[in-house]
């Protein structure tokens, strides 16, 4: 990090602000933590000039799904390391998931997260409160108290809210506070014991699978409950073609549903567990770094997720950044903790869709900025969030869509080195990140 210049000029980049339909070559001027202008060429003095010719300049990314692990699991990640990883990945706002220890099911834990973020955070942290006490799925947490303390949504992520009656009540209460419930859709009776996607790769590896129906049955239930209550439901980490189709049809009927998809479910299949991300022939790997919940699915599922993201059925790319310690992953596949450390590879991973001609760049940037903000109504807390409009918080990401690099997890800012992409060559890299007017990350080439 390089001090706090009060005026920053980002010069000559492709300024992409999809929330306002802006796509032009020009400048972004920041003063005292706010955007002054985005688009037209600027003249005049600046404390810091970032040359952005050939680079994309856009609103800082907003992640609806980040596991920061603090309090209680600081050996996996802390608010300091997780938010530094976010800054390196171009994310300037992260929504912190509540599966900490203790869970964020009381006012004091939500307040703790906000206080630690203010002290040690490199980017903005918006806390998500638990739906049920201890995330145990039996009794509702004090949702009103959590909302008052600053929770922007509710979720028991890591676990579903399996009891339909409880989920109904959660939706009703959450909507009284104007907040969405984000559900980890996994019907326990179908998923139990499954450690990867139920399909031919699981059979080949001799591992128990989770069928796509485990996700789809709960997505269908949640859509019915959203229809019943009129409350907003958010489907976390959509991973199956059937789930995408259910959400698409529900949206057509006007059901208040939003959805997110992760970089890995957009780009990797269950074959990565056995043969690595490129599906290279060779010995079976049983790669625990490819173990994640929901599991990596089939090629048809990946294609449906991409289509859902393209046509707006899915509102946002969310990382589900899930850092784990080495000891959580260097064990038999069945025993490994599920999750991928994602913040620092997310952009490059989703850019593969753009490079392959499957998605255009403005649409991708929309799903990383204005899309998530709209999904959860986050501009209620931070006016102008996810845009570069005048007066918006100066959260800006500058990236090179074409820079090639090799993933080296030992160089991550995150404590979680658990990625199936180690050694993989990716194309597209963050060059600078400004959060609240502070330069929180700059690659060497920026020369500050």
Q: Which residues are catalytic?
A: 320
CB of 97 to ligand DOR, least distance (A): 7
* Residue 293 lies near ligand DOR (rule: CB under 6 A): yes
CB of 12 to ligand DOR, least distance (A): 40
**Torsion angle, CA of 343/396/96/85, rounded to 10 degrees?**
30
DSSP 305-326: HHHHHHHTSS-EE---B----H
* Residue 160 lies near ligand DOR (rule: CB under 6 A): no
CB of 262 to ligand DOR, least distance (A): 9
* Residue 99 lies near ligand DOR (rule: CB under 6 A): yes
CB of 270 to ligand DOR, least distance (A): 14
Token digits for 140? 């509702």
* Cα separations in angstroms, 199 against 192, 296, 359: 15, 11, 28
H-state helical runs in 255-319? 263-267, 271-275, 299-311
DSSP 382-418: STTTTS--TTSB--EEEEEEEEEEE--GGG-SSS---
* Residue 9 lies near ligand DOR (rule: CB under 6 A): no
* Residue 416 lies near ligand DOR (rule: CB under 6 A): no
Within 10 angstroms of residue 188's Cβ, the number of other Cβ atoms is 12
Closest listed residue to residue 431, CA positions, set 409, 446, 412 = 446
Q: Smaller CB distance to ligand DOR: residue 67 or 221?
A: 67
Q: Which 3 state secondary structure label does DSSP give 88?
A: helix
Q: Smaller CB distance to ligand DOR: residue 322 or 382?
A: 322
Question: Scanning residues 171 to 190, which ones bind ligand DOR (CB under 6 A)?
Answer: 184
H-state helical runs in 153-196? 164-176, 188-191
Count residues contacting ligand DOR (CB under 6 A)? 10
Cβ-proximal residue to ligand DOR, closest one: 339
CB of 67 to ligand DOR, least distance (A): 5
Token digits for 109? 């834990």
* Residue 270 lies near ligand DOR (rule: CB under 6 A): no
Q: Smaller CB distance to ligand DOR: residue 93 or 342?
A: 342
CB of 275 to ligand DOR, least distance (A): 20
Q: Smaller CB distance to ligand DOR: residue 157 or 216?
A: 157
Residue 265, class by beta-carbon neighbours within 10 Å (0-12 exposed, 13-18 middle, 19+ buried)? buried
Asked if residues 122 and 439 have their Cβ atoms less than 8 Å apart, the reply is: no
* Residue 157 lies near ligand DOR (rule: CB under 6 A): yes
* Residue 63 lies near ligand DOR (rule: CB under 6 A): no
Q: Smaller CB distance to ligand DOR: residue 99 or 240?
A: 99
Q: Which 3 state secondary structure label does DSSP give 293?
A: coil
Question: Scanning residues 113 to 152, which ones bind ligand DOR (CB under 6 A)?
Answer: none
Sign (positive/negative) of CA torsion 264, 376, 16, 245? positive
Question: Scanning residues 302 to 331, which ones bind ligand DOR (CB under 6 A)?
Answer: 322
Q: Smaller CB distance to ligand DOR: residue 184 or 417?
A: 184
CB of 371 to ligand DOR, least distance (A): 20
* Residue 221 lies near ligand DOR (rule: CB under 6 A): no
* Residue 292 lies near ligand DOR (rule: CB under 6 A): yes
* Residue 100 lies near ligand DOR (rule: CB under 6 A): no
Give the C-alpha separation, 186 to 206, whole Å: 22
Work out which of 67, 122, 168, 264 binds ligand DOR, going by CB under 6 A.
67
CB of 148 to ligand DOR, least distance (A): 25
Work out which of 39, 158, 401, 436 binds ligand DOR, going by CB under 6 A.
158
* Residue 420 lies near ligand DOR (rule: CB under 6 A): no
Give the C-alpha separation, 87 to 82, whole Å: 9
Question: Scanning residues 329 to 368, which ones bind ligand DOR (CB under 6 A)?
Answer: 338-339
Q: Smaller CB distance to ligand DOR: residue 29 or 141?
A: 141
Q: Smaller CB distance to ligand DOR: residue 68 or 394?
A: 68
* Residue 235 lies near ligand DOR (rule: CB under 6 A): no
Give the C-alpha separation, 419 to 306, whole Å: 21
HSE of 255 in the Cβ direction (CA atoms, 13 Å)? Answer: 26
* Cα separations in angstroms, 282 against 38, 274, 275, 351, 372: 50, 9, 7, 27, 39
DSSP 8-state class, residue 297: -
Contact residues for ligand DOR, defined by CB under 6 A: 67, 99, 157-158, 184, 292-293, 322, 338-339
């Amino acid at each position: 990090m390089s001090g706090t210049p009060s005026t920053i000029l980002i010069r000559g980049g492709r300024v992409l602000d999809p929330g306002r339909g802006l796509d032009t070559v020009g400048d972004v001027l920041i003063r005292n933590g706010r955007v002054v202008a985005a688009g037209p060429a600027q003249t005049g003095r600046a404390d810091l000039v970032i040359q952005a010719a050939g680079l994309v300049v856009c609103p800082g990314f907003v992640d609806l799904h980040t596991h920061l692990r603090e309090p209680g699991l600081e050996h996996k990640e802390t608010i300091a390391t997780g938010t530094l990883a976010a800054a390196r990945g171009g994310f300037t706002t992260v929504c912190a998931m509540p599966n900490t220890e203790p869970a964020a099911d009381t006012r004091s834990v939500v307040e703790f997260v906000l206080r630690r973020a203010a002290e040690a955070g490199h980017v903005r942290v918006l806390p998500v409160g638990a739906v049920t006490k201890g995330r145990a799925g039996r009794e509702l947490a004090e949702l009103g108290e959590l909302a008052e303390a600053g929770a922007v949504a509710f979720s028991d992520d890591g676990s579903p809210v399996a009891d339909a009656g409880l989920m109904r009540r959660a939706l009703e209460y959450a909507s009284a506070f104007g907040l969405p419930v984000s559900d980890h859709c996994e019907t326990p009776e179908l998923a139990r014991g499954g450690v990867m996607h139920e399909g031919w790769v699981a059979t080949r590896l001799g591992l128990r699978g989770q069928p796509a129906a485990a996700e789809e049955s709960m997505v269908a239930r949640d859509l019915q409950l959203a229809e019943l209550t009129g409350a907003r439901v958010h489907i976390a980490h959509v991973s199956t073609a059937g789930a995408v189709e259910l959400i698409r049809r529900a949206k057509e009927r006007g059901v208040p549903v939003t959805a997110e998809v992760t970089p890995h479910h957009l780009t990797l299949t269950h074959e990565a567990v056995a043969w690595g991300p490129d599906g290279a022939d060779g010995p079976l790997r049983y790669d625990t770094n490819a173990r994640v919940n929901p599991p990596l699915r089939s090629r048809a599922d990946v294609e449906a997720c991409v289509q859902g993201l393209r046509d707006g059925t899915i509102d946002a790319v969310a990382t589900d950044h899930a850092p784990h310690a080495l000891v959580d992953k260097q064990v038999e596949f069945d025993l490994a903790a599920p999750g991928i450390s994602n913040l620092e590879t997310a952009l490059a991973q989703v850019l593969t869709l753009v490079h392959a001609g499957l998605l255009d760049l403005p649409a991708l940037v929309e799903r990383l900025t204005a899309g998530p903000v709209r999904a959860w109504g986050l501009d209620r807390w931070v006016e102008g969030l996810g845009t570069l409009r005048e007066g918006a918080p100066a959260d800006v990401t500058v990236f090179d869509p074409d820079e090639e690099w090799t993933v080296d997890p030992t160089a991550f800012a995150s404590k979680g080195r658990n990625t199936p992409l180690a050694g993989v060559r990716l194309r597209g890299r963050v060059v600078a990140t400004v959060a609240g007017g502070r330069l929180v990350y700059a690659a060497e080439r920026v020369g500050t």
